[in-house]
């Protein structure tokens, strides 16, 4: 049921079958290096989020450049990482249910596994599962930084939950999960700066409240590709969870820098490689990449190789390009690169990365955590 790779090593890019998920290895490697470069001098650690790439090959490359481990959202993602050689995984998420807890504890026998909680019932269940597995599990309190998803409120509610963790026999309190997801795509630099200033204030005040009650926060973890420079300079955060920086996507590409220009710290390295399959009219071209090949939740992809074309509409298996000028190159059979609107759920649609350098296929990496839902 895993699809075969759409390419072979050594093949020219032009021959790679479509749709395929293509990584520009030069751009990807520049992105990989740029994150640690941008925070050099800061004491923060890097723990990239593996939900972006879903691929232990990439996780190990990040760790070679200094990352202390990875983050995951699901136990099955963590399994793919641990069995792929990653020995330190933080589940930046609440894990609920007997089967998931058993699998989590099984991983904790062979790797350092951290997990989050935002409810006393979860703490009880984690303690029981850790006790049965005869391990001591690091648990983080997830604090709501304003995204209003999971997480207890900062201050007293976080203290209450931290106390329950420290009081549990088979758990250790490991720190605060303080990711501010809804700040990542605020377009203006100053809006992101202010959002993270507020998050840092909440996280710092909570840390101080806990310290005043005899509970030390070994880690305050958060940050994403949109805001990591603020967290790294905050003096509060100790770990960065950026994921998308390795690939970028059209949505992150719309963030602005301090001068109001598109942020250019990282560059697009992930493309959906597609074929023009129909050219019914002068102003319309149809490509073979639709909802099954592209996540459209954060807007359409950018047509990277043809400025005269705009990705106008997707159906399940088709993408409709609007052609604005007669001076376009698009003929039936032509192939082109699309920059996905949102990288993480786009990656989840593929079984293979096709790594390309100088227009030749150099690497084929299996996306082993593709479909890792539970």
Q: Provide, rounded to whole angstroms, the least separation between the CB of residue 97 and its own copies.
A: 6
Length of the chain equals 374
Q: What residues from 65 to 84 belong to the interface with its own copies (CB under 8 A)?
A: 73-74, 76
Nearer to its own copies, 31 or 92 (CB): 92
Told to check if 261 binds its own copies by CB under 8 A, we report: no
Q: Among 185-193, 198-206, 263-271, 365-373, which window interacts with its own copies (CB under 8 A)?
A: 365-373
Q: Using the 8-state DSSP alphabet, how is residue 254 labeled?
A: G
DSSP letters for 97-137:
SHHHHHHHHHHHTTSEEEEEE-SHHHHHHHHHHHHHHT--E
CB atoms within 10 A of CB 298: 18
Nearer to its own copies, 31 or 144 (CB): 144
Told to check if 225 binds its own copies by CB under 8 A, we report: no
Non-local (6+) Cβ contacts of 46 within 8 A are: 35, 36, 39, 62, 66, 67, 68, 239, 240, 242
Q: Provide, rounded to whole angstroms, the least separation between the CB of residue 370 and its own copies.
A: 6
Nearer to its own copies, 39 or 309 (CB): 309
Q: What residues from 98 to 117 belong to the interface with its own copies (CB under 8 A)?
A: 99-100
Told to check if 9 binds its own copies by CB under 8 A, we report: no
Q: Provide, rounded to whole angstroms, the least separation between the CB of residue 214 and its own copies.
A: 26
Q: Which residue is associated with the tokens 């009081």?
A: 167
Q: Which residue is associated with the tokens 């609920």?
A: 96
Told to check if 264 binds its own copies by CB under 8 A, we report: no
Strand order through the sheet with 88-94: 45-46, 239-240, 219-222, 171-177, 137-142, 112-117, 88-94, 70-72
- Across the chain, the runs of DSSP E, i.e. the strands, are 20-24, 45-46, 70-72, 88-94, 112-117, 137-142, 171-177, 219-222, 239-240, 270-281, 284-287, 302-303, 309-314, 319-323, 335-339, 352-357, 360-366
Told to check if 213 binds its own copies by CB under 8 A, we report: no
Nearer to its own copies, 28 or 365 (CB): 365
Strands 112-117 and 88-94: parallel
Q: Among 59-67, 106-114, 197-205, 342-350, which window interacts with its own copies (CB under 8 A)?
A: 342-350
User: By the 8 A CB rule, do 344 and 243 touch?
Assistant: yes
Q: What residues from 272 to 331 belong to the interface with its own copies (CB under 8 A)?
A: 275-280, 284, 286, 288-289, 291-293, 295-297, 314-318, 320
Nearer to its own copies, 234 or 255 (CB): 255
Dmax (CA) of the chain: 71
Using omega within 30 degrees of 0 as the cis cutoff, is the peptide bond preceding 249 cis? no
Q: How far apart are CA 235 and CA 127, in angstroms?
A: 32
CB atoms within 10 A of CB 36: 15
Per CB under 8 A, the list member of 85, 97, 167, 307 interacting with its own copies is 97
Per CB under 8 A, the list member of 6, 268, 300, 341 interacting with its own copies is 6
Q: What residues from 144 to 163 belong to the interface with its own copies (CB under 8 A)?
A: 144, 148-152
Q: Provide, rounded to whole angstroms, the least separation between the CB of residue 218 and its own copies.
A: 23
Nearer to its own copies, 189 or 350 (CB): 350
Question: Which residues contact its own copies (rule: CB under 8 A)?
Answer: 1-3, 6, 15, 17-20, 51, 73-74, 76, 93-97, 99-100, 118-119, 121-122, 144, 148-152, 181, 275-280, 284, 286, 288-289, 291-293, 295-297, 314-318, 320, 332-333, 342, 344-345, 348-351, 366-368, 370-374
């Amino acid at each position: 049921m895993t699809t075969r790779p759409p390419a072979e090593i050594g093949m020219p890019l032009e021959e790679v079958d479509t749709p395929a998920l293509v990584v520009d290895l030069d751009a990807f490697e520049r992105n990989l290096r740029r994150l640690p470069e941008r925070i050099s001098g800061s004491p923060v650690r890097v723990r990239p989020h593996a939900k972006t790439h879903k691929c232990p090959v990439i996780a190990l490359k990040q760790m070679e450049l200094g990352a202390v481990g990875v983050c995951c959202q699901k136990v099955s993602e963590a399994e793919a990482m641990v069995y792929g050689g990653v020995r330190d995984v933080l589940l930046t998420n609440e894990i609920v249910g007997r089967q998931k807890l058993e699998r989590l504890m099984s991983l904790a026998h062979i790797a350092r596994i951290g997990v989050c909680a935002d409810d006393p019932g979860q703490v009880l269940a984690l303690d029981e599962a850790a006790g049965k597995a005869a391990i001591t599990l690091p648990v983080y309190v997830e604090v709501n930084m304003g995204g209003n998803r999971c997480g207890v409120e900062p201050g007293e509610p976080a203290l209450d939950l931290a106390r329950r963790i420290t009081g549990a026999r088979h758990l250790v309190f490991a720190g605060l999960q303080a990711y501010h997801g809804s700040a990542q795509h605020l377009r203006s630099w100053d809006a992101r700066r202010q959002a993270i200033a507020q998050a840092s204030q909440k996280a710092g005040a909570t840390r101080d409240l806990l310290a005043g009650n005899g509970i030390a926060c070994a880690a305050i973890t958060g940050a994403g590709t949109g805001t990591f420079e603020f967290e790294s300079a905050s003096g509060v955060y100790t770990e960065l969870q950026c994921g998308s920086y390795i690939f970028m996507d059209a949505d992150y590409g719309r963030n602005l820098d301090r001068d109001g220009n598109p942020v250019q710290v990282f560059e697009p390295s992930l493309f959906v490689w597609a074929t023009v399959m129909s050219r019914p009219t002068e102003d319309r071209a149809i490509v073979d990449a639709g909802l099954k090949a592209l996540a459209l939740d954060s807007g359409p992809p950018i047509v990277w190789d043809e400025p005269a074309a705009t990705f106008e509409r997707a159906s399940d298996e088709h993408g409709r390009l609007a052609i604005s000028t007669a001076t376009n190159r698009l003929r039936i059979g032509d192939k082109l690169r699309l920059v996905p609107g949102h990288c993480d759920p786009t990656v989840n649609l593929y079984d293979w990365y096709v790594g390309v350098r100088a227009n030749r296929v150099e690497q084929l990496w299996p996306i082993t955590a593709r479909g890792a839902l539970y």
